[in-house]
Structure 1
Amino acid sequence: MTADTAIAAPLRSPLAEAAGRLAAATRASGGAVRLAELPFLAQINVRLDPKGAALDAVGLALGLQLPLEPDTVVRAGELTALWLGPDEWLVVGPPGSQQDLESRIRGAAGEEPVSVTDVSAQRTTVLVAGPRARDLLAHGCPLDLHPRAFEPGRCAQTTLARAQVVLVARDEPRAGFWVLVRSSFAGYLTDWLLDAAAEWTA
């Protein structure tokens, strides 16, 4: 088979082999926790001057304003923007939207200095939801995860079970948390989550 006729292998997510275990733990918990991978989300790292003209232009192109308050999240439709630093954001979108998002951001910035990097392949996303989600995450996260301290619409670069993650408290009802973790640590973190959830799944 030549390179021209070869059929590309389908993409395989970092936690494809763990999907069954995550689903089984969710069922065993009786709804206390819900664990699942959200694979292949588009993740675009954006850096620009928050006081420059590009900020509003990029916001208009995306249909959402890049958040300026530290550790906050702005969501509009299928897009979510996370504040990572004074001049840095992560724009998360549906699978396959990377090129479109990059194009829209670069086009809107025009001649303004901007850095746009597709980091989708670096991380996968684990959904941790359910009434016990905060308790589960608190077993391995140094942040105060009480709703008064880490309310829906907040995000943080932190550690979970000593793995570097971006933790997002989703703002939809009962949406729980996104845990964005590097693909190389995803299997380890999943094993830890399943072990930590044992008190509700045993």
Structure 2
Amino acid sequence: MAETAPNAPLRSPLSHVADRLAAATRASGGAIRLAELPFLAQIDLRLDAKGPAAEAVGLALDLQLPLQPNTAVRAGESTALWLGPDEWLLVGPPGTERDLESRIREAAGDEPVSVTDVSAQRTTLLVTGPHARDLLAHGCSLDLHPRVFGPGRCAQTTLGRTQVVLAAREEPRAGFWVLVRSSFAGYLADWLLDAATEYV
């Protein structure tokens, strides 16, 4: 078993390419911005969307769970992404995963729910800029036109042959979140950097 220093700082899955992401952003002159958003809290939630727990959890989080397929809802610093009829991914600021989990469990009470902290499973790439959609379209089979995949939309899909959760952010010019498994993050970052050469 490998030994680790007890107080060693956490390293994000893409810390080794942070300089390259920043360099590509500078070289594009603002056409593309690539950055990692490391350590976001991510909670996988499963419950009956029509049961009493759904409303109670929504009230506890001040965030109504989206019921329309492939949509996302943001309230405050938290976002709920629809993954299936009874499954959501809750995303919050780094370090809030325990708070989110305890609030969900307390609100659900004895109702059947599944609450799993998956924060360490994925990291998040931020892709913004006027050509963000064009860049993503190079490797994603979804129709990313704003009329189809506009702000507040999300989907489980593939990007550069890598499984991701893709979310179009609701804020103006906020771009996209690309949530990718940590083990594939380096590959996907390399793919994005290669595809971005068209804009630099």
Normalised by the length of structure 1, the TM-score is 0.96
Looking at structure 2, the residues matched to 162 and 51 of structure 1 have their Cα atoms a distance apart, in angstroms, of 35
- Write out per-residue CA displacement over residues 83-120 of structure 1, whole angstroms, 9 at most, x where no aligned residue: 00000000000000010000000000001000000000
SS of the residue corresponding to residue 120 of structure 2 reads helix
Alignment of 1:31-50 (within 5 A): 31-50=30-49
Aligned to 1:153: 152
Aligned to 1:130: 129
Aligned to 2:73: 74
Cα displacement (A) at 1:149: 0.9
1:85 aligned onto 2:84 = yes
Aligned to 1:8: 7
Structure 2: runs of 5+ lacking an equivalent: none
Alignment of 1:163-202 (within 5 A): 163-201=162-200
Looking at structure 2, the residues matched to 77 and 36 of structure 1 have their Cα atoms a distance apart, in angstroms, of 22
Looking at structure 1, the residues matched to 191 and 184 of structure 2 have their Cα atoms a distance apart, in angstroms, of 11
Cα displacement (A) at 1:14: 0.1
Task: Write the letter of the residue equivalent to 2:92.
Answer: G
SS of the residue corresponding to residue 101 of structure 1 reads helix
- Write out per-residue CA displacement over residues 30-65 of structure 1, whole angstroms, 9 at most, x where no aligned residue: 000000000000000000001100001000110110
Looking at structure 1, the residues matched to 79 and 72 of structure 2 have their Cα atoms a distance apart, in angstroms, of 7
**Runs of 4+ residues deviating >2 angstroms:** none
1:62 aligned onto 2:36 = no
Structure 1: runs of 5+ lacking an equivalent: none
Q: State the aligned residue count.
A: 197
Cα displacement (A) at 1:153: 0.3
